[in-house]
Structure 1
Amino acid sequence: MKLRYKKKKLIIYAVIAIVWSLLGIISFIENENNFMKYSYLVLGVVHIIIFILYQHQGYAKITNGILIVGELKKKRISIDQLIEIKHVAGDFVLVSETNKVSLSKDQVREEDWKEFIAIPKIKALDPHQYNS
C-alpha cells in the first residue's frame, strides 16, 4: 500500500519546474551573459527531479507490515509493534517501543488516508477514530 502525495503538491512542483526551466531557456535564447541562466536551468532540473521522486515514491508505503516514511532519510516502524497513536498539531504520530514516526494527513491523498486508517491495528489503537 502506498500513501501518495496530494495532487496539489505535485502540481505546484511541476509548475515551479516549468517556470524555472522556461526562464533558463529564455535566458539562453536571448544570449544573456550572466550566470543566472545556468541557475535557472539547475533550479528547473532540481524541481523536475523532486516532482518525479514525489510522484514515483509517494509520501509513505507499507510493505510486509512495515511503514516506511520519507524521501532521503527513511523512517521505518512495524505496524504490528505499535503501542500508541497520538495526534499532535494535525500530525498522526505512531509510537512503538523503539521508534516514533510522524505522518502528516495534509500531505496524503484522501483515498489513501482512508485506506491507511482502515488497517485493523491502526483502527484499534486510535482513541479518537481520526477518520476525517
Structure 2
Amino acid sequence: MTPDKDTVFLTRPKTEPYYVTEGQEGPVMECSFAPEFRNRTRYEPSWTVVAGDLPRHLTRNGVSFSKQHYALLQTSGAYNLQIRHVVFRRDNGKFFCTVLDKESGAQYTVQANIIVVGSFSFMII
C-alpha cells in the first residue's frame, strides 16, 4: 500500500498563499517528515521552485544550491525553507517540498504558493 501525504508529512506549508513584500525576508515554509521517511539512504528530500514557468532545484538531500537566496532549516525530521531576501522574478511562484523514495520511485509532494506584492518600481515615459 502506498502511503498518502498525511502519513508522509508531519508539517507542510500552509494552503493559503504566502503574501510577501519584495526586498523583505520571506516566510518559513514548513515541511517535515514522519520518522519512517527520515532515512536519507532510502528517502531523498528536496525543494524546487517554479517561477516564471521555469523549475529550479533549490535543495536536494540536505545540499542547498542557492544558499545566498534561501535558507534550508533542518532539524530532526524538518526540512523547512526560508527566502532570505524576496525578489519578484525569482520567488513569485510555486515551491514544492518533495520526498523521493529511491527504492520504489514514489514521490510525495506538498506545495507553497508565494505571491510577491508591493515595492515595485515602475518608470513612466
Q: Structure 2 length as normaliser, TM-score? A: 0.24
> Relative contact order, CA 8 A, sep 6+: which one is greater?
2
Greater fraction strand: 2
Larger radius of gyration: 1
Q: Structure 1 length as normaliser, TM-score? A: 0.23
